[in-house]
Amino acid sequence: MGKHIYIHIPFCERKCAYCDFYSIEDHHLLEQYFDALRKEIAGVTIVPDVNPDTRDTVYFGGGTPTVPDANLLCDILLLVRKRFCINKDAEITIECNPNSVNYSKFLKYREAGFNRVSIGVQSLHDKTLKILGRLHDRERALESIEEAKMAGFENISCDLMIGVPSQTKDDILEDAKILIDRGVCHISMYSLMIEEGTPFYDRYRNIEDFVDPDLERDMYHSLRDFLSANGLEPYEISNCGKMSEHNMSYWKGMEYYAFGAGASGYLNGIRFSHPRSVKDYVKDPFHVDEEEKVGISGKMNEYMMLMLRTSDGPSKEEFQKRFNKSMDDVFANEIKRLCDQELIVVDDKGIRLTHKGLDLANQAFEEFV
């Protein structure tokens, strides 16, 4: 029975102009924030394990979790491992940016029990990194991968961003080849999204004026095919290679703890969110802004929508096991409409997105909202 735990570290050295995740550059409450994290973790009510056939996972995301002193992160992980009796074989991930880590930090993380690192490379072309406003360059990105390996990390994931103005398909395929050659075993590929309220919204509000949508789709499918051909099989819309068990727990609709400002969790059939405010979180780490009870109908819809993101897709057998109902009976109309639009294929095992469905995934998901 698996426990899945997410911990949000919202501090960044500099917030990226395209980022809509909750993060801040002001660090004056950093120490108090970690005190509040300890208080919340120590005082949370532990629920019975309800996630069958999975192993424990812990995920430190951000923000940039590696901006604070490494000892702070390691102390929090130690507390989590003791408080939740985390199994020795748990997958424990830390996100980082190339400019916020070094060999010494990686070594401390590894010795504390972190065994998976996700590096926000985004690109290995300096022109693209400059457009994105990243603090690192190509050389530093590659150095960070080598430092992680030297510290003992074998499970290394890197993010690549596609659809950036002036970026070419050759650029992204070259980046992928270099990362694979360096021993990276997982690559997440994300299209540049223009989110309202970010500086990029003012700069690239009409992104199609800067990036041809057909080129962006060609880049996506070409990268996905390249990764598959080189041993990093796609298992989700944006992820290829050695599976992130923590992220997969989300897509399987499993329950998970969430700690920290802006973090959202799902326990006892209730989805909840902490305020997107370090100041408020420090005052009361147990306060949540939103709570939503998920009924059986909502759980069935979420299972279909989330699992449709994966390469395996929603399973008829798993659906029957979870809900004691037939997927074909419950969603006969939705499945037929998606088939008619050629967005999914159906077989005895379940349903999956087609090539066309990958391009129109949000349209397919809407059937289950």
Give 309-332 pLDDT, tens digit per residue.
Answer: 999 999 999 999 999 999 999 999
pLDDT tier for residue 100 given thresholds of 50, 70 and 90: very high
- Residues 242 and 186: their CA atoms lie apart, in Å, by 5
Same domain, 28 and 136: yes
Once rounded to an integer, what is the mean pLDDT over residues 157-169? Answer: 96
Q: Assess if residue 283 is contained within a domain.
A: no
Question: What burial letters (b/e) apply to 32-57, b meaning 16+ CB within 10 Å?
Answer: ebbebbbebbeebeeeeeebeebbbb
Is 301 part of any domain? Answer: no
Domain region containing 345: 313-369
Structure tokens at 23: 């993060």
Position 1 pLDDT exceeds 60:
no
The 3-state secondary structure of the chain, one letter per residue? CECEEEEEECECCCCCCCCCCCCECCCCCHHHHHHHHHHHHHHCCCCCCCECCCCCEEEEEECCCCCCCHHHHHHHHHHHHHHCCCCCCCEEEEEECHHHCCHHHHHHHHHHCCCEEEEEEECCCHHHHHHHCCCCCHHHHHHHHHHHHHCCCCEEEEEEEECCCCCCHHHHHHHHHHHHHCCCCEEEEEECCCCCCCHHHHHCCCHHHCCCHHHHHHHHHHHHHHHHHCCCCEEECCEEECCCHHHHHHHCCCCEEEECCCCEEEECCEEEECCCCHHHHHHCCCCCCEEEECCHHHHHHHHHHHHCCECCCCEHHHHHHHHCCCHHHHCHHHHHHHHHCCCEEECCCEEEECHHHHHCHHHHHHHHC
Per-residue model confidence (pLDDT) at position 347: 96
Q: CA-to-CA distance for 273 and 332, rounded, in angstroms?
A: 33
The answer to whether residue 288 sits within a structural domain is no
> Is 259 contained in some domain?
no
Q: How far apart are CA 32 and CA 281, in angstroms?
A: 10
| Residue 258 resides in a domain | no
Residues 89 and 235 in one domain: yes
Mean pLDDT value of segment 26-33: 96
C-alpha span between 321 and 252 (Å, rounded) = 13
Say whether pLDDT at 19 is over 90.
no
In the numeric block, which tokens belong to residue 341? 């639009």
332 shares its domain with 245: no
Shared domain check, 192 and 68: yes
Mean residue pLDDT of the chain comes to 95
pLDDT grade for 56, boundaries at 50, 70 and 90: very high
Q: Are residues 174 and 83 in the same domain?
A: yes
**Boundary (domain end) residue, out of 209, 230, 250:** 250
Same domain, 202 and 329: no
| Sign of the alpha-carbon torsion through 83, 86, 88, 93 | negative
* pLDDT at residue 244, rounded to an integer: 98
Neighbours of 267 (CB within 10 A): 16
Q: What pLDDT, on a 0 to 100 scale, did the predictor assign at position 194?
A: 80
Percentage of residues in the chain having pLDDT higher than 70 = 98
Backbone dihedral angles phi then psi of residue 41, each to the nearest 5 degrees:
-65, -40
- Domain end residue (candidates: 204, 222, 250): 250
Rounded CA separation 134/43 (Å) = 37
pLDDT of residue 50: 62
- Residue 329: the pLDDT is 97
Is residue 273 pLDDT above 60, yes or no?
yes
Answer yes or no: do 206 and 338 share one domain: no
Neighbour count for residue 80 (Cβ, 10 Å): 24
Are 199 and 17 spatial neighbours (Cβ–Cβ below 8 Å)? yes
Task: Please count the structural domains in the chain.
Answer: 2
What phi and psi values does residue 158 have, to the nearest 5 degrees? -130, 145
Inside any domain, residue 58: yes
- Residues 265/272, Cβ–Cβ less than 8 Å: yes
Question: Residue 269: inside a domain, yes or no?
Answer: no
Whether residues 244 and 325 share a domain: the answer is no
Select from 217, 250, 283 the last residue of a domain: 250
Provide the token pair at 210. 């800067």
Instruction: Retrieve residue 281's tokens.
Output: 């979180």
Residues 133 and 219 in one domain: yes
272 forms beta bridges with 265, 291
Judge if 355 and 206 occupy the same domain: no
* 227 shares its domain with 339: no
Q: Is the pLDDT of residue 2 over 90?
A: no
> Looking at the domain assignment, is residue 294 inside a domain?
no
Other Cβ atoms closer than 10 A to 119: 25
Do 123 and 13 belong to one domain? yes
| CATH classification of the domain holding 77 | 3.20.20.70
Any idea what the CATH number is for the domain that residue 351 is in?
1.10.10.920
User: Is the separation of the CB atoms in 38 and 76 below 8 Å?
Assistant: yes
